[in-house]
Amino acid sequence: MPASLLATVDSDALFLRWDEYRDVGARDTLIERFLPLARKLARRYAGANEPYDDLVQVASLGLVKAVERYDPKRGFAFSSFAVPTIVGELKRYFRDASWALHVDRSAQERARRIAEARREISSRQGRSPTVAELAEYLECSEEEVLDGLQTGEAYDTVSLDAPRSSDGDAAAHLDTLGGEDDRLERVDEQTTVFAAAQALPERERKILWLRFGEDLTQAEIADHVGVSQMQVSRLLRKSVRRLQELVHERPHRSSPSER
């Protein structure tokens, strides 16, 4: 099936095509459709001193795994399966890649010598030595001292699995990263609307995006599209009404309480 037609197919039907026929086009369409979910989860971890783009790549890998492993016949929503899969991939990234230290032997030796020099000079002078004093003591450049100090500080990083405190709080540092995003519950509805919007004319899709995606006023949209503000208002009403009709025509997955 052409990609343009796959974009209009309901997510449930796409999952069935992938599950039964291994339709790569259906899989790729699903991945593209649920990418906002991966980005939202990556954003929850963006405060952990890791580049957001790297986190999006990791979350996207988790999304691919979730799409490929999801079993639509089990009857639960895809987001319920995808969120733990993507979060698990992000946590694995922090454990295995983000703070894993691979320091060459010469850097380790330099850091060790600087640490010993700091202790020696501090014991004699009663204060912490300056970079210049360390460089003179070790007969090296100040730049080498700074590099060594940075290497030494890296060894003091705390394990993400270590407890946050010693006062009985068993939560690990990794558990404090990120936070709940209530909007994740709306992912299924958003993807349904996204799929239905593919049936609208291109100009109407653009107007909808400018209004609800970019939050432009009707006057600003009129300037972008090249029509009057009155036409924008009319097209918006028409498009929203048509979207409601398309969404209601689509079969909805029943919740566990409805089955």
CATH number reported for the structural domain that contains residue 246 in this entry: 1.10.10.10
d(C-alpha 204, C-alpha 210), whole Å: 10
Q: What percent of the chain has a predicted confidence (pLDDT) above 70?
A: 71
List the chain pLDDT tens, one digit each, 259 residues. Answer: 666 677 778 888 999 999 999 999 999 999 999 999 999 998 887 755 567 888 899 999 999 999 999 999 888 889 889 999 999 888 887 765 543 455 566 776 787 788 888 888 888 888 888 888 999 999 888 888 888 877 665 554 555 555 454 444 445 555 655 555 555 556 666 666 677 777 888 888 888 888 877 778 888 898 888 889 899 889 888 888 887 887 776 554 444 444 4
CA angle 184, 189, 192 (to 5 degrees): 130
Domain stops at, among 154, 183, 213: 154
Whether 208 is covered by a domain: the verdict is yes
Q: Which of 23, 33, 32, 20 is nearest to 1 (CA)?
A: 23
How many domains would you assign to the chain? 2
Q: What is the CA radius of gyration of the chain?
A: 27
Whether 224 is covered by a domain: the verdict is yes
Q: Are residues 258 and 205 in the same domain?
A: yes
Domain stops at, among 96, 127, 154: 154
Whether 176 is covered by a domain: the verdict is no
- CATH number, domain at 129? 1.10.10
Whether 126 is covered by a domain: the verdict is yes
Whether 160 is covered by a domain: the verdict is no
For the chain, strand residue ranges (E) read none
Q: Are 197 and 208 in contact (CB under 8 A)?
A: yes
Residues of the domain holding 259 = 199-259
Whether 185 is covered by a domain: the verdict is no
Handedness of CA 179, 182, 184, 190 (dihedral sign): negative
Chain segment 25-34, per-residue pLDDT in tens? 999 999 999 9
